[in-house]
Amino acid sequence: MENNSSLGLYNPLKENIIFINDYNKYNIDKYKDTIAHEFIHLNQADYEYTLINEASAEILSYEYYDNTTINSYFDAVKELKIFMEIVGPETILEYNFSGNKDNINETLSKYITESEKEEVLDYFRTNPNDITSYDRLNSIFDKLSFNM
């Protein structure tokens, strides 16, 4: 497998292939959640907003594939759920499966400054594993929800 630090991954450069680490060594039940998560990635249309992609894969695999828990990206899932309350889940689903970012950008532009919008989008472009604090994002979300 290309990345030994995770149980599985989907690489958009290798279409329609999900990589599972050490699949043959274990029972499929161990990988059920990982397979569901990576299957969501396989169907996502855009990969610019990594935080949205990862958190959405966790949420959708939990809600639609009966995963028992949110297994990873806990903070990113929390932030995405807050953002979904602001912009609506349809906006996030549209981004995930059509790649259309217009509604995300329009909502942000309507209620916060351009520099704050860019800060939010920078968070979205960042791998959740690389984010050490969501304090600034939460502050902007507070302003965004207050201004709506």
Q: How confident is the model at residue 17, as a pLDDT?
A: 64
Q: What is the average pLDDT value for the chain, to the nearest integer?
A: 85
Which 8-state DSSP code applies to residue 5? T
Q: Is the pLDDT of residue 85 over 70?
A: yes
CA distance 3 to 112: 38
Q: Is the pLDDT of residue 3 over 50?
A: no
In this prediction the pTM is 0.82
In 3D space, the residue among 103, 117, 124, 137 whose CA is nearest the CA of residue 48 turns out to be 124
Q: How confident is the model at residue 145, as a pLDDT?
A: 87
Q: How confident is the model at residue 82, as a pLDDT?
A: 94
Q: Quick one: tokens of 126?
A: 């960042």
In the block, residue with structure tokens 């790649």: 99
Q: 6-59: per-residue pLDDT in tens? A: 666 666 666 666 666 665 566 666 677 877 888 888 889 988 999 999 999 999
Q: What would the mean pLDDT of 75-99 be, rounded to a whole number? A: 94
Phi, psi (rounded to 5 degrees) for 61 = -70, -35
Query: What is residue 20's three-state secondary structure?
Result: strand
Residues 6+ apart with CB under 8 A from 126: 50, 51
Q: How confident is the model at residue 105, as a pLDDT?
A: 94
Report the percent of the chain where pLDDT is more than 70: 78
Q: Which residue has the higher pLDDT, 82 or 26?
A: 82
In 3D space, the residue among 90, 134, 45 whose CA is nearest the CA of residue 10 turns out to be 45
| Helices and strands (DSSP H and E) totals, the chain | 7, 2
Q: For residue 20, list its beta bridge partners.
A: 8
- What b/e readout covers 84-115, taking b as 16+ CB neighbours within 10 angstroms? beebeeebbebbbeeeebeebeebbeebbeee
